[in-house]
Amino acid sequence: MDENTLVRQCLRGEVLATQTFIERFQTDVFGLCFRMLHHRHDAEDVTQEVFLRIFRSLHRWDSTRPLRPWVMGIAINRCRTWLAQRGKRPELLDYLQETPARSQEDDSRELAQELQRALGNLRPDYRLVFVLFHEQRRSYDEISQLVDRPVGTIKTWLHRARLELLADLRQRGMVPEDAEPSFAVDPMSPLQPRSSP
């Protein structure tokens, strides 16, 4: 079903269309909220709020523009509001414990956990750009539209996020001093660094 038809049916209150809409975007919205908020329950709460806001303002969506960036923009704004209201909280251990199990060696798991911890220490704008680029594989232009900042700012934030993550991992002895890891994401596993050859 194309986006315009789906939105029209949602606006008419058709239950099946509403379910289809949620199913289409729920994984991306929850994934973003989970990465930004670092806590499953908070991410679930914010995801629900995002969809409530979406359905309340669906009539304002500009049908000449793609729907997904509009949806993700609402999710980003809601996460920012949540973070601002809650203030900086200590990282919760259940975030790492709820990470899906993977069949890798212990040192790889430890490195992935350390990266998650380091990612949580980034300022929210850097973390958001890093997650959108590396996990959700968004282009610079898409991220620029989603966060309402120039592409140059996005590139700067992403570069700084990478440098801060690398410095953090080096400081904790997780990567050698001369290593220049590139960050890669397997869509079926948690965010993890991939060492350069």
User: What residues contact residue 91 under an 8 Å CB cut-off, 6+ apart?
Assistant: 38, 117, 120
Domains of the chain (ranges plus CATH)?
3-86 (1.10.1740.10), 99-192 (1.10.10.10)
For the chain, helix, strand, coil in percent to 5 are 70, 5, 30
Give the model confidence (pLDDT) of 89-117 as tens digits. 444 434 334 444 444 455 566 767 777 78
SS3 88: coil
Query: pTM of the predicted model, to two decimals?
Result: 0.57
Give the model confidence (pLDDT) of 122-174 as tens digits. 888 888 898 888 888 888 998 988 888 999 999 999 888 888 888 887 777 76
106 is written with which tokens?
Answer: 């212990």
